[in-house]
Amino acid sequence: MNQTERPIGVFDSGVGGISALQAMIRTLPQERFIYYGDTANAPYGTKKTEEVIACVERVTKHLLEKDIKALVIACNTATGAAAYTLRRELTIPVIGMEPALKPASEIRKTGDILVLATPLALHQEKFNRLMEKYGEGAVRVPCTGLMELVEQENWDGARKYLQEVFALYNLKKVDAVVLGCTHYVFLKKMIREMLPEHIVITEGSAGTARQLKRVLARGKILRETGEGSVELETSGPESELEKMRRLLNRLIPE
């Protein structure tokens, strides 16, 4: 198959990366995507780094067998654990994600930036480097269990969880909230309703989609004609596929 016509592999520990996939579909409507949710091994964010790397290697091997032309790690935790190694090992482009701390830092005045993410993502070297560059006023907010509530589509539970988290901070002194996990993007509207109007919410899906487009164009493998498509796969039960479809539709329109 002509390299331009080959699909793009996208994966996450579960359904969270569907939020990044939705942004990619909007940005690259002619592309063919294969999305793999490693639901049987979710969550990644509470695992040891070596366990996450093992999961990523297995999923990557599976997607490479699908003859993909690029790989998108639609997971902040997995990006921090394995992106560097994958870029050295693979001949295809590897696009990762990172908490959108830079854009939050650019709008910050004198208040705090709350960075919501999994415990592992907040303590990885990749995030530490981000903090060194853009972390003035940034506060790490580990959200153990929040990703699982999204996986369960437990929106009432997520609302209660977030209310308890935000109650710990003086929101009048917060300038931005960073959604540092792809799962949390499904809660963006809910979070917006909870926060004072002056607080800006940032997340990395749109930036990742734009970076993917730039990389494909640079490599002259951008598919610019024809109809795009999405194929959904999971390591979990078949019911996960229907959940993925529901969540993909939940984000349309943005």
Position 31, amino acid: E
Q: Smallest Cα–Cα separation from 179: which of 213, 207, 219?
A: 207
| pLDDT (0 to 100) of residue 254 | 44
- The two domains 3-97+205-250 and 101-203 share their CATH topology (first three levels equal): yes
Sheet with 94-95, strands from edge to edge, namely: 94-95, 70-73, 8-12, 32-37, 229-234
Q: Is the dihedral of CA 149, 123, 81, 108 positive or negative?
A: positive
Domain 101-203 falls in which CATH fold? Answer: Rossmann fold (3.40.50)
Domain 3-97+205-250 annotated CATH 3.40.50.1860: yes
Q: Which of 42, 100, 181, 248 is catalytic?
A: 181
pLDDT per residue, tens digit, the chain (254 aa), is 799 999 999 999 999 999 999 999 999 999 999 999 999 999 999 899 999 999 999 999 999 999 999 999 999 999 999 999 999 999 999 999 999 999 999 999 999 999 999 999 999 999 999 999 999 999 999 999 999 999 999 999 999 999 999 999 999 999 999 999 999 999 999 999 999 999 999 999 999 999 999 999 999 999 999 999 999 999 999 999 999 999 998 754 44
Q: Tell me the DSSP string of 54-113.
A: HHHHHHHHHHHTTT-SEEEE--HHHHHHHHHHHHHH-SS-EE-----HHHHHHH--SSEE
Is the Cβ–Cβ distance between 202 and 7 less than 8 Å?
no
Q: Which of 75, 78, 120, 216 is catalytic?
A: 75
Catalytic annotation present for 143: no
Q: Give the start-to-end residue ranges of the domains of the chain.
A: 3-97+205-250, 101-203
